[in-house]
């Protein structure tokens, strides 16, 4: 497979020491090429694509998934084995199947990245992660953004298929948020959004769950491996914590409530349908009085 692709794209093997075909949904390497003598090597067929970076888990900033979704090429910087790599992801079709072609190039000493001010790997890795994190982060609330949702949920479906428990998503919305902006100003509204996220983040599990801004005052909360009785408990805890809290903006106390709609991964095989279902339940919560959680 890789030899056919390399013939199609010309002399790319002279430019990139590592070239691989990736299935971004399953996060696996379909085929790969490593230039002779290149010390870093690559992965064999079927290995997880993120193994190359020795992170132990999926990349939060997956440009392969972005390339597949948006049918465009993307680049990012990654760190592996004492080297900085420029990664280019290009969507391709092979035998009527969609894949992503990744080109990896060692740019440690190219001048592309200024490493002079970074003493040691830890600071360098942190710098690169911070740059990549900006692509999937909402600039105001520092939660994940909509791009992250669209890149991550398809992979979560794959993971959940082998688990005994499904995952759940909650669509969250601040009730009467326009009144906050009208009564206290847009800066106060921004303050509420930031601290709304912080309040929810304090309740969810930091290593498995996450929150992302879907748009405006709407957020999606992801819960990994969770059952109905568990989600009932945690959602009520989140709802009550928002209702009971007083948000203090420049000595002005502001009270808000929030509404939620929840759906489970086993209710649909399509993440967009899952979001729509959670959104319908959120709408029902708002239509029937707000400040409540609707799960079915």
Closest CA to 80 of 108, 103, 60: 108
Q: What is the DSSP letter of 13?
A: G
Cα separation, 8 vs 5, whole angstroms:
5
Residue 75 near residue 89 (C-beta atoms within 8 A)? yes
3-state SS record for 229-270: HHHHHHHHHHHHHHHHCCEEECCEEECCCEEEEEEEHHHCCC
Give CB contacts under 8 A, 24+ apart, made by 268-274. Answer: 269/157, 271/150, 271/153, 271/154, 271/156, 271/157, 274/153, 274/169
Tell me the three state secondary structure of residue 232: helix
Closest CA to 106 of 77, 75, 63: 77
Cα separation, 199 vs 178, whole angstroms:
20
Is 236 noted as a catalytic residue in this protein?
no
Catalytic residue among 39, 102, 217, 250: 217
Take residue 148 and report the two structure tokens written for it. 């992250």
Take residue 144 and report the two structure tokens written for it. 């994940």
Report, as residue numbers or ranges, the catalytic residues.
217
């Amino acid at each position: 497979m890789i030899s056919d692709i390399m013939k199609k794209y010309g002399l790319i093997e002279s430019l990139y020491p590592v070239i691989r075909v990736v299935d971004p949904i399953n996060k696996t390497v379909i085929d790969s090429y490593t230039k002779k003598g290149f010390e870093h090597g690559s992965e064999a067929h079927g290995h997880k694509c993120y193994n190359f970076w020795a992170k132990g888990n999926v990349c939060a900033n997956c440009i392969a998934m972005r390339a597949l979704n948006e049918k465009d090429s993307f680049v990012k910087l990654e760190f592996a084995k004492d080297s900085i790599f420029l990664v280019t992801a290009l969507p391709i079709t092979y035998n009527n199947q969609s894949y992503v072609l990744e080109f990896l190039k060692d740019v440690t000493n190219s001048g592309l990245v200024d490493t002079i001010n970074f003493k040691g790997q830890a600071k360098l890795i942190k710098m690169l992660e911070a740059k990549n994190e900006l692509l999937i982060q909402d600039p105001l609330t520092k939660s994940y953004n909509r791009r992250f949702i669209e890149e991550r949920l398809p992979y979560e479906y794959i993971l959940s298929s082998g688990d005994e428990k499904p995952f759940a998503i909650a669509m969250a919305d601040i009730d009467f948020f326009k009144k906050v902006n009208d009564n206290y100003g847009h800066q106060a509204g921004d303050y509420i959004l930031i601290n709304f996220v912080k309040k929810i983040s304090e309740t969810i599990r930091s290593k498995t769950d996450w929150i992302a801004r879907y748009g405006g005052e709407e957020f999606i909360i992801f819960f990994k491996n969770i059952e109905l009785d568990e989600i009932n408990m945690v959602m009520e805890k989140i709802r009550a914590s928002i209702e009971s809290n007083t948000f203090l903006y420049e000595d002005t106390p502001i009270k808000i409530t929030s509404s939620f709609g929840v759906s489970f991964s086993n209710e649909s095989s399509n993440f967009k349908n899952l979001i729509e279902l959670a959104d319908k339940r959120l709408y029902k919560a708002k239509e029937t009085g707000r400040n409540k959680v609707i799960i079915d």
